[in-house]
Amino acid sequence: MTVLNDLVRPDRYPRSSRYDPAWLLDLDMGPNPLWLLEDLAQNLDLRPGMRVLDLGSGKGATSVFLAREYGAEVVAADWWIAPEDAAAVFAEAGVGDQVRAVRAEAHALPFEEESFDAIVSVDAFEYFGTADGYLPYLARFLRPGGQLGMATPAMTREVRQLGEIPRHIKAVVGWEAIAWHTAEWWRFHWEITELVEVTSARLQPDAWQDWLLWAQAGAGHQPGSRSANEAVIDMLTADGGEFLSFALVTARKS
Ligand SMILES: C[S@@+](CC[C@H](N)C(=O)[O-])C[C@H]1O[C@@H](n2cnc3c(N)ncnc32)[C@H](O)[C@@H]1O
């Protein structure tokens, strides 16, 4: 059985391991967002005072991390979660003066052009970011030289190449998996625009095991989410890393 202590892994995730796993599980909306962000941030240059947009910030864990770990001034933009609820998380975490919560739809962002030094998005881009015109739209909000970092569920091979969504994945997420592109798909899709230079595009090693560990902990921590987590556990166990991963992609605005 996964216990909360199993989630503290300073050898692999030193920064994330400083956060209370119970706190993070209370904000849970999918895989562990801090593990993904900590890994993603290795390919970014985040510095104190930078204006960072956390796009699809959910209940706010990644925004807290960006503020605390990198000293960023964060705008936490999300569609489903009420900004008042996210703001309460930021105040409680002691970063209320560094993080502003905003209700925003990813295609109608209420910001000035070139107003961010970096845009970060963890486990959200798959919902809104795969259309051909999305990167060009989003890049408008970055200053020249600004950075983009995105972590999203991914497949080791394109669904198009496989000719179908593998059965164990389709059983849990249905057609949504067609948005789970490979890292190389993202690299090409962004780079071809010539609006950004892709600085890294990689699949996270053993992402499925991280996700499994987290889902097992979630099933034990929140009885209400047990069946959803059990479906994910079944999917990941059947997969064993054959198809499922996470893509970590970073770029710099040209
Ligand atoms: C799986 S949750 C992840 C939240 C958070 N990043 C995390 O990892 O805990 C996906 C988030 O994407 C946001 N989202 C989905 N579609 C969106 C859209 N069209 N515009 C803005 N946010 C969107 C949802 O509001 C949701 O909070």
Dihedral (CA of 227, 233, 239, 241) sign: positive
Q: What is the pLDDT of residues 145-168, one digit of tens each?
A: 999 999 999 999 999 999 999 999
At 74-107, the pLDDT tens digits run 999 999 999 999 999 999 999 999 999 999 999 9
Residue 1 has pLDDT above 80, yes or no: no
Residue 32 carries which side chain, given as an amino acid letter? N
The structural domains of the chain, ordered by start, are 13-162+177-207+243-253 (3.40.50.150)
pLDDT the model gives residue 109: 98
Q: How many residues does the chain have?
A: 254
pLDDT category of residue 112 using cuts at 50, 70 and 90: very high
176 C-alpha to center of ligand 1: Å? 14
Strands (E), the chain: 51-55, 73-78, 99-103, 116-122, 142-155, 196-203, 244-253
CA distance linking residue 200 with residue 205, whole number of Å? 14
Residues 6+ apart with CB under 8 A from 233: 212, 215, 216, 219
Average pLDDT of the segment spanning 34-54: 98
Q: Mean pLDDT for the chain? A: 97
C-beta 95 within 6 A of ligand 1 = no
Does residue 2 carry a pLDDT above 80? no
32 lines ligand 1 (CB under 6 A): no
Largest CA distance in the chain: 49
**What does the alpha-carbon distance between residue 154 and residue 158 come to, in Å, rounded to a whole number?**
9
How many percent of the chain have pLDDT more than 70? 100
**Does 134 sit in the ligand 1 pocket, CB within 6 Å?**
no
